[in-house]
Amino acid sequence: MRWGVCGTGAIAEKFVHALRRIPDAQVVAVGSTSAERAESFGRRMGIQRRHGSYEALAGDDGVDVVYVASTQQRHCVDALLFLESGRHVLCEKPMALGVAEAEVMIDAARRTDRFLMEAMWSRFLPSYVELARLLDQRVIGRPLLLQADFSFAVPEASRHDHRLFDPDRGGGALLDLGVYPLQLSRLVFGEPDEVFATGRLTASGVDGQTTLTLTHPDGGVSLLSAAIITPGTCTARIMGTEGAITLDAFMHATRTLTVEGADPQVIETEPASLHFQIPEVHRCLGEGRTQSEAWSWTDTLAQLRITDRARDQIGLRYPGES
């Protein structure tokens, strides 16, 4: 499978390294809004075709699928460009700023008969596969409470030009970090009945800290937090009627699950890596699918419905939104 990479930032570099762990994946092209950055990234990463615009990458007929790693406010427009050009798309999370954008992207994937998936890579990690198995086997009985945090403090001296503090680049704690505790909540409990959000907006207008309380149909409760202005535990704990499971830091990329209950154990899995999601993309493409059952369009839309509700409650708006 021939991959192109849209973007030249840190996550794009990590993804190129991840691709090279997959035997049937080739990284054949990179695109940037800057010819200089594309050339520099391509030389450093050993990528032969280096495009100085996303349009040029979209027009590269030697590319089968594009990993979209541009900044978050660009995900929709960039994914649409590649889908309309006949490329399949794996789009970095969050796939869109909100439900409205995601629906446009999904409609384009349907219309062009192209594959589209949000890169919610945590769900494909061995630790999360094992966690899903433990929950299915009810090793802690019926889950009652989830506490999950992903928080850290960006140094104040760096905040003035940091992407996480830039509303023009879709910054903020909720959409960048909070999606990880949220996807865990949905793995444990499914969709919530109610969403209660509190947050603190920074001087730049993004959320520096957001806390979600979700109530679920079976009586379960999720307490989720994300921050870019204060450190947190970066752990998660699922408490059930017959025990508990703890995900060590960092909870979105943990390799250690600690199970308490009738059969206490510490489970060590393979280290986290972006490469675990790639075989799922290849499988879906090989079977002619336009979406993955493991992380579907329904999953992406469900996440965004929750973050849309939370954003409404804390007053978080991005440029161009009403």
Q: Which residues are designated catalytic?
A: 93
3-state secondary structure of 45: helix
Of 316, 308, 11, the residue nearest 182 (C-alpha): 308
Backbone angles phi, psi at 131, to 5 degrees: -60, -45
List of residues 6+ apart from 129 with CB closer than 8 A: none
Of 72, 91, 242, 220, the residue nearest 148 (C-alpha): 220
3-state secondary structure of 306: helix
For the beta sheet containing 256-261, the strands, ordered from the edge strand earlier in sequence to the opposite edge, are 194-201, 207-215, 221-227, 143-151, 236-240, 243-247, 256-261, 265-268
For residue 256, list its beta bridge partners: 268
- What is the secondary structure of 106-136 as a DSSP string? HHHHHHHT--EEEE-GGGGSHHHHHHHHHHH
**145 and 220 in contact (C-beta within 8 Å)?**
yes
**39 and 8 in contact (C-beta within 8 Å)?**
no
User: Which residue shows structure tokens 């899903």?
Assistant: 132
Q: Give the integer Cα–Cα distance in Å for 117 and 24.
A: 19
**232 and 149 in contact (C-beta within 8 Å)?**
yes
**88 and 148 in contact (C-beta within 8 Å)?**
no
**248 and 256 in contact (C-beta within 8 Å)?**
yes
